């Protein structure tokens, strides 16, 4: 059984399982799926300042904090008990391209040559870690939600703003992966 759980699951199994989260949340508790709102709830609970954006009854959204904690705990348990001992498979063309940027370690999902404490103080690392983190946070707030909220929950509810946001996410991802990231990695 553990061998079955350790292998990568194909999209046609993992995708519907993620997608079934939406009707489960709606049917069981009339709740919307989204992750980025949990940061707002944490800030509202922990910040005594009277910032209008954080001044609301966050206790009604406590379920979201438990949901996000469950995702975090599930990730830890999967990493500790269900880690696949086989090396990660990477397309040979991508392997050659990444080797040109000095990235050769594929044991982790995040290459250690790019994301580490030492790299944080290099131009490439600072752009990827600090500037990238800021842009993700800013974009999430500007778009009114993250990719899980818009692309999973919003599309399943046929919301036009989520459709537009998802198209923008995809265009941004293609531009970043094909034009901007190669430039940053060559720094």
Q: How far from chain centre, in Å, is Cα 40?
A: 16
Same domain assignment for residues 125 and 78 = no
Look-up of token digits 């699951």: 9
Same domain assignment for residues 75 and 7 = yes
Same domain assignment for residues 75 and 156 = no
Ranges under pLDDT 70 in the chain: 106-109
Q: What number of H helices and E strands is found in the chain? A: 12, 0
What pLDDT does 47 receive? 80
Same domain assignment for residues 77 and 139 = no
Number of separate domains in the chain: 2
What pLDDT does 82 receive? 84
Helices 132-143/160-175 angle, 10° precision: 160
What pLDDT does 107 receive? 64
What pLDDT does 106 receive? 67
Same domain assignment for residues 5 and 74 = yes
The residue segments making up the domain with residue 162 are 117-187
Please report whether residue 71 resides in a domain: yes
What pLDDT does 33 receive? 81
Mean pLDDT, all residues of the chain: 86
Q: Which structure tokens are listed for 163? A: 């459709």
Please report whether residue 51 resides in a domain: yes
Same domain assignment for residues 140 and 183 = yes
Q: How far from chain centre, in Å, is Cα 30?
A: 24
What pLDDT does 61 receive? 87
Same domain assignment for residues 122 and 79 = no
Long-range Cβ pairs for the range 129-137 (8 Å, 24+): none
Same domain assignment for residues 61 and 122 = no
Same domain assignment for residues 78 and 127 = no
């Amino acid at each position: 059984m553990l061998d079955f759980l350790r292998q990568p699951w194909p999209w046609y199994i993992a995708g519907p399982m993620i997608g079934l989260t939406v009707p489960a949340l709606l049917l069981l508790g009339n709740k919307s799926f989204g992750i980025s709102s949990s940061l707002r709830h944490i800030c509202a609970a922990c910040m005594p300042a009277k910032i209008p954006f954080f001044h609301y009854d966050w206790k009604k959204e406590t379920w979201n904090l438990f949901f996000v904690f469950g995702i975090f705990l599930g990730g830890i348990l999967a990493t500790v008990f269900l880690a696949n001992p086989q090396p990660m498979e990477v397309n040979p063309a991508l392997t050659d391209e990444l080797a040109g940027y000095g990235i050769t370690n594929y044991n982790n999902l995040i290459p250690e040559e790019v994301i580490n404490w030492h790299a944080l103080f290099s131009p490439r690392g600072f752009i990827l870690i600090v500037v990238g983190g800021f842009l993700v946070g800013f974009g999430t707030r500007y778009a009114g939600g993250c990719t899980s909220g818009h692309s999973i929950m919003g599309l399943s509810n046929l919301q036009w703003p989520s459709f537009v946001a998802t198209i923008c996410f995809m265009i941004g991802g293609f531009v970043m992966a094909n034009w901007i990231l190669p430039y940053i990695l060559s720094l």
